[in-house]
């Protein structure tokens, strides 16, 4: 039988605790008792664990043995902020597909009121990622970065590694006709020695990229790639891109 998996907020070498709504659920609905077994994720590692003490506000586990865990896909999705309901869906599905991180960015065509509300929304995005990670039995929770202007992210990303590995930065653009995402990935894989670098894949807002943003990507060594001849909604593009990455890497 597969054991339930819980992602702990606090841990040390031998124990881990979960608190808040998760602990309530575990105590009241699942009637956690000392001795009950579970898988507990602590600090990115998965452990076979046993409930040591159960109270409605806090469940403490003894960690028994580490279990081998699947790593996340080495991808950060740079997601232009778009309508929140669709964006939440995209974050949930991207988490299921194994995304390592999501960096929400304010693009030229991100609607103003969404850009203003984004910072407050980030906490909710983190909760969605946490729940989806647990449901998908991941061993980690994707990092949801604080929303930032697109230019900041684009420059920071390419400065961190220099131009040589510029090709690991990919911007999805429906105008691109020759380079498919698959081809761009095959080139990154061929160029990587032993370790696959973390990819950054940028997705535009509903209105698409503005011309100055295309120029910005270009100047910072980002490679434009296509997901095919049809125009996808931003959230579809995010999911399709991750599926392509998974099929190339897993």
Residues that bind ligand SAH (CB under 6 A): 172-174, 203-204, 206-209, 226-228, 230-232, 234, 237
Please report the DSSP string for 135-181 in residue order: HTT-SS--EEPPPEEHHHHHHHHHHHH-STTGGGEEEE-TT--S-BH
Minimum Å distance from CB 48 to ligand SAH?
A: 41
Kindly tell me which of 204 and 221 has the beta carbon lying closer to ligand SAH: 204
Minimum Å distance from CB 128 to ligand SAH?
A: 20
Kindly tell me which of 51 and 237 has the beta carbon lying closer to ligand SAH: 237
Minimum Å distance from CB 125 to ligand SAH?
A: 19
Minimum Å distance from CB 190 to ligand SAH?
A: 22
Kindly tell me which of 49 and 188 has the beta carbon lying closer to ligand SAH: 188
SS3 59: strand
SS3 198: coil
Minimum Å distance from CB 206 to ligand SAH?
A: 6
Q: Taking CB positions, which residue lies at the least distance from ligand SAH? A: 204
Kindly tell me which of 116 and 231 has the beta carbon lying closer to ligand SAH: 231
Give φ, ψ of 6 to 5 degrees. Answer: -125, 140
Measured CA to CA in angstroms, residue 201 lies from 185, 210, 214, 240 at distances of 11, 17, 14, 12
- Long-range CB pairs of 65-69, under 8 A, 24+ apart, other chains included: 67/39, 69/41, 69/44, 69/45, 69/139, 69/140
Kindly tell me which of 113 and 230 has the beta carbon lying closer to ligand SAH: 230
């Amino acid at each position: 039988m597969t054991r339930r998996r819980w992602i702990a907020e606090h841990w040390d070498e031998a124990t881990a605790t979960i608190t808040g709504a998760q602990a309530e659920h575990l105590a009241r609905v699942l009637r956690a008792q000392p001795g009950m077994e579970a898988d507990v994720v602590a600090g990115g590692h998965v452990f076979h664990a046993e409930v040591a003490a159960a109270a409605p506000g806090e469940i403490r586990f003894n960690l028994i043995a580490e279990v081998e865990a699947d790593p996340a896909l080495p991808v950060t999705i740079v997601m232009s902020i778009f309508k929140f309901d669709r964006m939440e869906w995209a974050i949930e599905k991207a988490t299921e597909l194994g995304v390592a991180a999501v960096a929400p960015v304010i693009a030229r065509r991100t609607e103003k009121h969404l850009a203003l509300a984004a910072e407050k929304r980030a906490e909710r995005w983190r909760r969605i990622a946490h729940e989806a990670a647990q449901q998908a039995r991941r061993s980690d929770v994707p990092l949801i970065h604080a929303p930032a202007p697109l230019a900041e992210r684009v420059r920071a990303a390419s400065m961190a590694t220099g131009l040589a590995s510029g090709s690991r930065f990919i911007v999805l653009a429906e105008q691109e006709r020759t380079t498919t995402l698959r081809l761009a990935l095959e080139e990154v894989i061929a160029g990587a020695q032993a370790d696959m670098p973390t990819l950054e894949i940028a997705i535009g807002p509903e209105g698409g990229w503005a011309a100055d943003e295309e120029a910005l990507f270009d100047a910072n060594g980002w490679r434009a790639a296509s997901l095919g001849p049809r125009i996808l909604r931003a959230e579809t593009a995010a999911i399709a891109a991750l599926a392509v990455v998974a099929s190339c890497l897993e």
